[in-house]
Structure 1
Amino acid sequence: MPERRGGTPTGLHAVDCVHDGDFGKMVALRGTDIVRVPIAEATARLKTVDPALYEEVGVFFG
């Protein structure tokens, strides 16, 4: 399942990650679980935005 990033719950888990000294990781949402993912794994492949979706939300950004 793909990861989603951001928001208060994952931010709090990111703080826990740093507190635990678990560096080189990011926190992500997999389904309903917040997990720690190695940065290398999270950036291993290019994830792009579908151009149609980009155009659709473009109205909000000019």
Structure 2
Amino acid sequence: MTQVATASTRENAGRDTHEYVSSDLVMVSGNDSRLAKIDLIYAGPYEVDAVRSNGTVVVSKRG
């Protein structure tokens, strides 16, 4: 195994896999620069419209 492949395997070992399907409800992470403790971290729930082949998720803002 090459050094790059070994590093990629090590980095990806800690990732969680997510299996989304259409009509799932998800929360979306907001801006990380919160101004106050009581600012919301996540927005939603939003409905998943589509899951693309590269793993990205298309959500509708209808909620």
Q: Normalising TM by the smaller chain, what interval?
A: under 0.3
Structure showing the higher strand proportion among its residues = 2
Larger-gyration structure (1/2): 2
TM-score (norm 2): 0.25
TM-score (norm 1): 0.25
